[in-house]
Amino acid sequence: MKITKEYKRNLQDDNWFYVELGKKLKQARLSKVHKFSKNTYAVTQTAVANCIGSTFQQVQKYEKGINRIPLINLVKISKFLDKPLSYFLDDFHGQPEIANQFNNAFKDAIDKLEENR
């Protein structure tokens, strides 16, 4: 991966969380499991972008850690990729309160989405 000045800035600004989150997003995108055949396949950045109403360039920036991923987009992506929100946050040891906050927000967001249907 090419080290860009935005990537370096994120690491210097103590935004390593978003850099690592972007790596997990890419990993999840490249390892989606088919519901019926249980085969693993890659989901395109365009498909992920369509699920959040954005562009593939924005998903690229999320994956590289250049831009921060808004919580609502992370919720939509996790639902689209059939991954629990904790999948993206489990590697951040020593910060379980962040994972719990995200999981609670995820549950609230899902409840709101279901109410709107």
pTM: 0.66
Per-residue pLDDT band at 92 (split at 50, 70, 90): low
State mean pLDDT over 70-92. Answer: 86
Per-residue pLDDT band at 9 (split at 50, 70, 90): low
d(CA 14, CA 116): 37
The backbone torsions φ and ψ at residue 40, rounded to the nearest 5 degrees and listed phi first, read -90, 135
Do the Cβ atoms of 73 and 61 come closer than 8 Å? no
- Beta-bridged to residue 41, according to DSSP, are 32
- What is the span of the domain harbouring residue 22? 5-116
- What's the number of domains the chain is made of? 1
d(CA 73, CA 52): 6
In the chain, what percentage of residues exceed pLDDT 90? 25
Q: Tell me, what CATH number does 46's domain have?
A: 1.10.260.40
Which one of 6-10, 18-22, 91-95 scores highest in mean pLDDT?
A: 18-22
